[in-house]
Amino acid sequence: EKLQALRSEFLRDEKNILAQNIVSTSNPQSACMNRGAYELNSGVFSHKLSDEGKPVCNQRASGRCWLFAALNAMRFEFSQSYLFFCDKIERANFFLHKILEVMEKNPDADPSDRLLGYLLTDPLQDGGQWGMVAGLVEKYGVLPKKCFPESFSSESSYRMNNMLSSKLRQFCRNLVNMSQKGTSKEDMLLEIEVYMEPIYRTFVWEYYDKSKAYKKIGPISPLDFYQSISSPYGIGSEAGAFCWQGLRCGAPWNACGGSPIIYNNQSIETLLSISAESIKDGSAVWCGLDMTMFQEGIMDLKLFDHELTFGTQFALGMGKADRLRYRDSAMGHAVTLTGVSLSEEGAPSKWRIENSWGKDFGQEGYLSMTSDWFREFGFEIVVKKDYVPQEIIDVFKMEPIVLPAWDPMGVLA
């Protein structure tokens, strides 16, 4: 009876019937698109980096956006698959040592333990953070893409991740059993060493410079190569992560002994202002977003009118803090900001984004984002500290709040 009453009430309004007919035969999000807002997005920006990467990269069926966005900011086509490979090795090693850490604290722990259960859920996920890619680059260096090209599994990581995760869970079971039998930490560390092998690699890179002259670098290690070009393309301590939610830190989640990931909490207006200064000076910005509300490469709060079609709000039905708290929103994608337009008052109004989904998405692979959209769905930026006031830099000296492993301010894919 209740369902019948609800149906009768629904059918009394002819607008509901029209909306039902439309969304039952098309994408519900597309059905809500505001054509006027779509047509206002010109794709023209008052300030734009002159050395944008072209063509736009494509992470394909993998969660490597954090790697692509970081390497895009370095303005040279380095190999994403090389760092992806290093990350898998480091992440497997980190997982096994994290299991050992859990068992040290509670030798009788089993998969029902919250942290152990969380670790087992997805031991080798693709997603990451700025601090994680910075740690990889500073440890392993970088390679030109031609020296370490894409493979099937780097472009479509699901099957590889499943196989490796299954193996890691077997290793975890072995370590749990060893702990419950009273095996010493030293013997368990030896067992982990059996599971892991060190990485050594050198390469030779041949290329033509702008004047078509032949050049050769190497044999050289990826780390030495990175250090030789790190002055103009630095990715380490001269950059800082500034976010909307908390001065917080957590483990890097992909490397043993790596530096913790630190978030410097600032207002969203500060993030927008700092990003604009960076781009106006010709420096790209690494950025973490929640990519739930967009269409046709446009991120604009006015682009969808859910109220008109459905009579209610969805993603904007809660404030930003509540969306994060109730798991309706989180940083899920990393991009590179390469352009900005300013209002008559000089405030940033819209942004050009270099994405990593290929040239067929958006405008030749580039997206357009309004500042209002960023206020709702933007969470983190990474910029050179040159563009940041000293009083904000000094916040890094404070004692941070340590985040649990399952906090929504986690990794991006």
Query: 23: pLDDT confidence band, cut at 50, 70 and 90?
Result: confident
Domain CATH number, residue 159: 3.90.70.10
pLDDT at 178 over 70: yes
CB 166 within 8 A of CB 92: no
How does pLDDT run across 276-323, given as a tens digit for each residue?
999 999 999 999 999 988 888 999 999 988 888 888 888 898 999 899
pLDDT at 198: 41
| Structural domains in the chain (count) | 1
Q: Is 333 one of the catalytic residues?
A: yes
Sign of CA dihedral 354, 358, 364, 368: negative
* 58-62, 148-152, 173-177, 381-385: segment of lowest average pLDDT: 148-152
How does pLDDT run across 64-102, given as a tens digit for each residue?
999 999 888 876 678 888 888 888 888 888 899 999 999
In a domain, 1, yes or no: no
Helix (H) or strand (E) holding 366: strand 366-370
**Marked catalytic residue, from 57, 65, 147, 287:** 65
Among candidate residues 283, 311, 287, the one with its CA nearest the CA of residue 373: 287
Q: Which amino acid is at 388?
A: V
Cα–Cα dist 329/413, whole Å: 14
- Mean residue pLDDT of the chain comes to 83
Helix (H) or strand (E) holding 119: helix 114-121
164-171 long-range contacts (CB < 8 A, ≥24 apart) are: 164/88, 164/92, 164/123, 164/124, 165/122, 165/123, 165/124, 168/92, 168/95, 168/96, 168/123, 168/124, 169/120, 169/123, 171/96, 171/99, 171/195
How does pLDDT run across 114-124, given as a tens digit for each residue?
888 989 999 98
Most confident of 211-215, 259-263, 269-273, 328-332: 269-273
- 162 three-class SS: helix
Adjacent-strand bridge partners of 202: none
Cα–Cα dist 237/100, whole Å: 30
CB 94 within 8 A of CB 253: yes
Where in the sequence is the domain holding 109, given as residue range(s)?
39-402
User: The whole model's pTM is what?
Assistant: 0.82
* 42-51, 147-156, 250-259, 307-316: segment of lowest average pLDDT: 250-259
CB 113 within 8 A of CB 46: no
Q: Is 65 one of the catalytic residues?
A: yes
List the helix and strand counts (H, then E) for the chain.
17, 13
How does pLDDT run across 323-341, given as a tens digit for each residue?
988 989 988 899 999 999 9
Q: Is 93 one of the catalytic residues?
A: no
In a domain, 9, yes or no: no
pLDDT at 199: 39
In a domain, 20, yes or no: no
In a domain, 43, yes or no: yes
pLDDT over 90 for what percent of the chain? 29
In a domain, 13, yes or no: no
**Marked catalytic residue, from 57, 72, 161, 333:** 333
pLDDT at 376 over 90: yes
pLDDT at 33: 85
Distance of CA 192 to the CA centre of its chain: 29
**Marked catalytic residue, from 58, 161, 254, 355:** 355
In a domain, 95, yes or no: yes
In a domain, 262, yes or no: yes
In a domain, 18, yes or no: no
